[in-house]
Amino acid sequence: MTKRLKTLYSLVNKGGVFADVGCDHGYVAKYALDSEDFESVIISDISKLSLEKAEKLLKPYKNKVKSYVCDGLDGYEIEPDVVFIAGMGGEEICSILQKSKFRVKQLVLSPQKNSNKVRKLLIDLGYKIDSDFTFFDKKFYDAISATIGKDNYTQKELIFGRDNLKLRSAEFLDKLNMEAKILNSVISNENVSSLDKNEAEQKLALINGVLYEN
Ligand SMILES: C[S@@+](CC[C@H](N)C(=O)[O-])C[C@H]1O[C@@H](n2cnc3c(N)ncnc32)[C@H](O)[C@@H]1O
């Protein structure tokens, strides 16, 4: 397992049924069974070819695995305790959660973009966000873990992630500095339209507000 998947899996509450949605290779589901953290796992993917890779990897655990080719949790016959979704865009994750017939005990999510939309939806769906931070493993990733409950986020927390604002980790600040550099190069580029420059300036102001606050 990569550092990325290990970091995300460390947020998982162990026990019951673990679901790896968009499992592709199935590494996380295998790790969950190898560690004896769960009684059984569900692997699912919208791509039959991807699911077949995971089924092959999990063959030794055949009796403990259910597998579905489906969009999100659409084809699930039993309710998992934990749903793990990584490596998809935030809008795709939102669409999966909105369509889900289950309100599972825990969600561990890593949106590749639009994390703000995922945070907002979690709160609207009646989830409390327990962990919400950025980490680095060759690239920057967001990790969001949520359990059933009430929560309240400010606009700034929705954009940046609550733990990031509280903890100001080196990894989070590195990400902001990298984004600020990109936005500065957009702003100083003569070939960029004034509309795009305006948008870049607004984003930069938000980022600088976090970087240079006391
Ligand atoms: C980049 S891979 C990520 C694999 C693994 N979760 C990880 O983080 O390493 C994304 C996987 O999600 C699957 N996928 C995309 N949209 C999906 C959806 N709506 N429902 C289920 N699987 C989906 C893709 O087929 C692909 O196997």
What is the arithmetic mean of pLDDT over 191-207? 94
- 49 and 133 part of one domain: yes
**Res 38 pLDDT > 80:** yes
How many CB atoms neighbour CB 92 within 10 A?
20
Taking only the tens place, the pLDDT of each residue in 58-90 is 999 989 999 999 999 999 999 999 999 999 999
DSSP readout, 128-191? EEEEEEEEESSSEEEEEEEEES-----HHHHHH-HHHHHH--HHHHHHHHHHHHHHHHHHT-TT
**Res 158 pLDDT > 70:** yes
Backbone angles phi, psi at 29, to 5 degrees: -60, -40
- 34 and 61 part of one domain: yes
Question: How far apart are the CA of 209 and the centre of ligand 1, in A?
Answer: 34
Q: Specify the number of domains making up the chain.
A: 2
- Residue ranges making up the domain that contains 179: 171-211
- 29 and 67 part of one domain: yes
For residue 2, the 8-state DSSP code is -
How many CB atoms neighbour CB 17 within 10 A?
20
Q: What was the pLDDT predicted at 214?
A: 54
- 156 and 194 part of one domain: no
Residue nearest atom 3 of ligand 1, based on CA coordinates: 87
- 10 and 27 part of one domain: yes
Overall pTM surpassing 0.75 (yes/no): yes
Taking only the tens place, the pLDDT of each residue in 22-35 is 999 999 999 999 99
- 141 and 180 part of one domain: no
- 104 and 11 part of one domain: yes
- 77 and 176 part of one domain: no
Taking only the tens place, the pLDDT of each residue in 6-17 is 999 999 999 999
Of 166, 183, 199, the one marking the end of a domain is 166
- 132 and 176 part of one domain: no
**Res 213 pLDDT > 90:** no
Ligand 1 site residues (CB inside 6 A) read 21-24, 45-47, 50, 71-72, 86-88, 92, 96
Question: How far apart are the CA of 210 and the centre of ligand 1, in A?
Answer: 32
- 100 and 162 part of one domain: yes
- 101 and 151 part of one domain: yes
Report the CATH number that the domain containing residue 16 is assigned in CATH: 3.40.50.150
- 207 and 142 part of one domain: no
Counting ligand 1 atoms within 8 A of each CB, the residue from 88, 118, 138 with the most, and so the one to mutate, is 88
What is the arithmetic mean of pLDDT over 146-172? 97
Q: What was the pLDDT predicted at 71?
A: 98
Taking only the tens place, the pLDDT of each residue in 89-144 is 999 999 999 999 999 999 999 999 999 999 999 999 999 999 999 999 999 999 99
